[in-house]
Amino acid sequence: MRILELKYGCNPNQKPAEIRSVGCDFPFKVLNGNPGYINFMDALNSWQLVKELKTVLNMPAAASFKHVSPAGVAIGLPLNKELKKAYFVEHIDLSPIATAYARARGADRMSSFGDWAALSDIVDKATATILRKEVSDGVIAPGFTTEALEILKQKKGGKYNIIEIAPSYEPSEIEIRHIYGIEFVQKRNNVILGFEDIKNIVTDNKNLSDEAKRDMILAMITLKYTQSNSVCYVLDGQIVGCGAGQQSRIHCTRLAGDKADIWYLKQHPRVLSLKFKEGAGRPERDNAIDLFVRNDATEFELNMLKGVLEEVPERLSAYDRETWLKGLQNVTLGSDAFFPFRDNIDRAYKSGVKHIVQPGGSVRDTAVVNSCNEYGMVMVMTGLRLFHH
């Protein structure tokens, strides 16, 4: 048995704390820093996610994790100039894996503050350059170039957490955990979700493009490693809104939909033209942009903008927001369990959802399918529930 002592568990009062590898060596090396209990939970969950995406889609994948759920996930598709600016990477020569992380981090930059990054491919200089500039707790990847490793080792005063994991590692099929002195044993959820799982189209509209199929795969694999209940919105190979850990399905759908709307509003020309005061850091910029696009910011919060922006332009009116959000189209929605009521479909439509993937199995499946038909949506039922706790 291998044992690695940790500073403490989930909270500072939870001592002692350690991780153990039973029957074999640890499948990873800590190259720098001193990862904690939650760091390792984020690292191992996020690594599984990006590894599976790379396996199924054969593209570099990245995830930005916080508290054992992804704030963002993406594959390495090219970025347009608007997204490069919105993600603060317009002056970086992006590699595919760097692009994947820029997309993952850019999905919900507020939630990604202090994230754990997971990369499916070897971390290169471009990816390390992005990470160096962001507030992040650590990174896990199958390897690092010499240049990238040196860049990352200088982060956080030399304390940045860097984990290299063996991509060939496969754990035991049985997993065990303890809760309140009781041992729980189950078969690991080692199903690899793929294109064969999205063949059961149950709506009148059966027009499913290759891009929509790809985004459905991305949604399902993301949900597999997101704390339940969970729903996510996907567009062009990246999560644009994730609602995790809600007790009600509609609350997941609303939360994720609101995040998708904010993601899209941040690409509005008035937002992209904001001029920040010299010395304004990335977190201050992210907070200012979030306040600028939200329609519920208080007067006190809006006054904070004056300390970050050179000038505060006219904010987006209700009409401006509604008009701009009409451009959010062809979004894919994934759910880790069935939709019990059509209100989820009604909310999804407001955020441009055209394609839905979900397990099905509700007594109200017919009503949910009928609501999709009203909107001309395509719905796939997989029969695979993806709860994760």
Catalytic residue among 81, 91, 326, 389: 389
Count CA atoms within 13 Å of residue 377 on its CB side: 28
Q: State the DSSP string of 182-232.
A: EEEEEE-------GGGG--B-SS-----HHHHHHHHHHHHHHHTSPSSEEE
CA distance 166 to 183: 28
CA distance 304 to 325: 26
AA identity, residue 155? K
Pairing of strands 353-358, 331-335: parallel
**What tokens does 92 get?**
């970086």
Catalytic residue among 32, 39, 45, 66: 66
Helix 125-133 / helix 146-153 crossing angle, nearest 10 deg: 10
Catalytic residue among 39, 45, 161, 229: 229
Catalytic residue flag (residue 229): yes
Closest among 39, 38, 110, 102 to 71, alpha carbons compared:
110
Catalytic residue flag (residue 67): yes
CA distance 303 to 291: 10
Instruction: Please classify residue 239 by burial: count the beta carbons closer than 10 Å to its beta carbon, then call 0-12 exposed, 13-18 middle and 19+ buried.
Output: buried
Catalytic residue flag (residue 66): yes
**Residue 93 C-alpha from the chain's centroid:** 23
CA distance 140 to 12: 24
CA distance 319 to 176: 53
Asked if residues 208 and 214 have their Cβ atoms less than 8 Å apart, the reply is no
Q: How many CB atoms lie within 10 A of CB 275?
A: 9
Catalytic residue IDs: 66-67, 229, 389
